[in-house]
Structure 1
Amino acid sequence: MSATHPGYYIPHDTRWPIMGSIGLFALLGGFAMLLNGSSSAPVVMIIGTLILVVMIIGWFGTVIKESESGFYNDQVDISFRHGMIWFIFSEVLFFAAFFGALFYARIYSVPWLGGEGSVGATTGPLLWPGFEGIWPTNGPAEIGGAFGTIPAVGIPLLNTIILITSGATVTLAHWALKKNQRKPLCWWLLATVLLGLVFLYFQGVEFAHAYNDLNLTLESGIYGSTFFMLTGFHGLHVTIGAIMLLVMLLRAMRGHFTPERHFAFEAAAWYWHFVDVVWIGLFIFVYWF
């Protein structure tokens, strides 16, 4: 079927969905075993992860071959766009849940427990002597241990500059693709991937500093939990986005994409811009305020 064919492409039978289901079952089952102290849990999780990696490479490879063979028409392109929009929307809700937990704890729960409002007036004395409804809090020092926080000026600010710059480079790559300028496209994509890797490096340095020097860990009360859940999951999304852009770079080097048809590149760029926006929210509400 050509790209201008009026029909709608119906995928052939494929083994990838069932393989992905098996991989997810093994990964999550292994994680459940890990929580219950099973010694074989890591092996099960590794097997599940490997199955998922093979599934992703195989499935996306099939889609790429179909696309490059001209099987997809404009209606299929619209379907892909709708799918990516809903996927990013689900990611927005994912982070909204963690931001909601942060806001609820910081604005409502901690002040109430500190004695503000009718609820806190009765529950405050039930905690421990000397409790104050201030942020950050982790409870008495003997529970989670006293900890330090990471200021906004430093690695967080540097990483903000890095991600904003990467948003600009991926946009320049998109402009180059629209003008069918292959070399600038590849160089700007490479710059974006490298900036993402630099961001991850500095985030690793920050996490090591938090654990080793500040005693800021996942066990540091609600502050430590929300801090690492938000920044850690964002780092995971940066990793995924960098892998997506790396695949786009390799495809661009092989001559894939045209100025008119390049949704795979657009989808990766959308995802990267989403990652940028989430980080700005993190920088403001986790590090700055």
Structure 2
Amino acid sequence: MMEHSEQTHYFVPDPSRWPIVGSLALFCLGLGAALTVNSVAFGKLGLLLGFGILLWMLFGWFGDVIRESLAGRYHGREDHSFRWGMGWFIFSEVMFFAAFFGALYYVRVISVPELGNDMHKLLYPDFSASWPLQTGPGINTPYQAMGAWGLPAINTLILLSSGATLTWAHWGLLSGSRRQLTVGLGATVLLGFLFLGLQLYEYSHAMHELGLSLAAGAYGMTFFMLTGFHGMHVLLGAIMLSVMWLRVQRGHFSAEHHFAFEAAAWYWHFVDVVWLILFVFVYWL
């Protein structure tokens, strides 16, 4: 009877205030961004307020879910829903990056060769159909493209290593070794923040020494959009894994029940795969 009850019971939480709090946070962020871009007073204050409300919502909402899980309110069917939810979330992220990689493909493989053919020579006589673009409308200052085998290659090794340490931590969780779990997860978090630190240094080098910015034509825009959004995802993943590490210190998770850890690991491995594709098509080729 107990097994049947666990299979048919589905926990429905009480009405929550967190969705409306999240809506308020997004409103403040959007308004603050619009005011800041237009140099209107209180724009930065609106952004700061929006980020503060957003953090409050995230800690509060996920805290409620953690407390419900620790209270034993989730059974097999809830776990099934969580897995589907995380899977669709990652799929939406795949489509998000697919749009930017599609834009890079269109510009590099279709648009640039088209603008360089004989038909367009009358309109753009000085245009050179090469990648990265060095001539054309909107490119007022010369710049250098970012090479692949310096800092980007080091960052690639760092992210691949972080995937290995995370898998090692997962093995420790499955085998009951809390020390292996703690060390492996902590190393993953440190490697993630090291990646972000080196990327900030790379951006500084690109802007001040290579002359590379968002104003550097299609190459500059696609470079910073792809690497910048990926960096934001690395930051989010590192924060998620940091929370998992803190939960491990409190004795959370077991070999049988640890989907929160597993979901964060899925996300981190997704970030790793995106970087490998990005490294090949943005830096290398």
Normalised to the residue count of structure 1, the TM-score between the two structures is 0.94
* Residues 26 and 47, structure 1, Cα contact 8 Å, conserved in 2: yes
For residue 56 of structure 1, what is the amino acid of its counterpart? Answer: L
Question: 1:77 aligned to 60, 68, 79, which one?
Answer: 79
- Which structure 2 residues correspond to residues 136-147 of structure 1 after superposition, within 5 A? 136-140=132-136, 143-147=139-143
Question: 2:105 aligned to 103, 122, 147, which one?
Answer: 103
2:116 paired residue number: 114
Counterpart secondary structure, 1:125: coil
Matches of 2:44 and 2:29, distance apart in 1 = 9
Matches of 1:125 and 1:96, distance apart in 2 = 34
Question: 1:126 aligned to 123, 129, 132, which one?
Answer: 123
Counterpart secondary structure, 1:260: coil
Question: 2:32 aligned to 30, 33, 37, which one?
Answer: 30
2:43 paired residue number: 41
1:54 paired residue number: 56
1:91 paired residue number: 93
- Which structure 2 residues correspond to residues 12-27 of structure 1 after superposition, within 5 A? 12-27=14-29
Matches of 1:25 and 1:64, distance apart in 2 = 27
Alpha-carbon offset, residue 34 of structure 1: 2.4
Counterpart secondary structure, 2:8: coil
User: Unaligned regions of 5+ residues in structure 2, if any?
Assistant: none
* Residues 156 and 283, structure 1, Cα contact 8 Å, conserved in 2: yes
| Range with greater deviation from structure 2 (203-212 or 35-44) | 35-44
For residue 98 of structure 2, what is the amino acid of its counterpart? Answer: A
For residue 191 of structure 2, what is the amino acid of its counterpart? Answer: L
The answer as to 2:156 corresponding to 1:156 is no
Alpha-carbon offset, residue 35 of structure 1: 2.8
1:10 paired residue number: 12
Matches of 1:130 and 1:123, distance apart in 2 = 10
* Residues 190 and 249, structure 1, Cα contact 8 Å, conserved in 2: yes
- Which structure 2 residues correspond to residues 229-268 of structure 1 after superposition, within 5 A? 229-268=225-264
Identify if the C-alpha distance between structure 1 residues 241 and 61 changes in structure 2 by more than 3 Å, giving closer, same or farther: same
Question: 2:200 aligned to 192, 204, 207, which one?
Answer: 204
Paired residues, what number? 283
Matches of 2:100 and 2:136, distance apart in 1 = 24
User: Unaligned regions of 5+ residues in structure 1, if any?
Assistant: 116-120
Alpha-carbon offset, residue 142 of structure 1: 8.1
2:217 paired residue number: 221
Counterpart secondary structure, 2:172: helix
Alpha-carbon offset, residue 140 of structure 1: 4.5
Matches of 2:243 and 2:205, distance apart in 1 = 32
Normalised to the residue count of structure 2, the TM-score between the two structures is 0.96
Alpha-carbon offset, residue 13 of structure 1: 1.5
* Residues 218 and 224, structure 1, Cα contact 8 Å, conserved in 2: yes
* Residues 6 and 73, structure 1, Cα contact 8 Å, conserved in 2: no
2:169 paired residue number: 173
2:70 paired residue number: 68
Alpha-carbon offset, residue 94 of structure 1: 0.5
Identify if the C-alpha distance between structure 1 residues 142 and 222 changes in structure 2 by more than 3 Å, giving closer, same or farther: closer
Matches of 1:224 and 1:124, distance apart in 2 = 24
Matches of 1:13 and 1:82, distance apart in 2 = 22
Identify if the C-alpha distance between structure 1 residues 83 and 141 changes in structure 2 by more than 3 Å, giving closer, same or farther: closer
- 1:59-112 Cα offsets, whole Å, 9 max, x none, are 000000000110001100010000000000000011001100101000000000
* Residues 138 and 223, structure 1, Cα contact 8 Å, conserved in 2: no
* Residues 138 and 222, structure 1, Cα contact 8 Å, conserved in 2: no
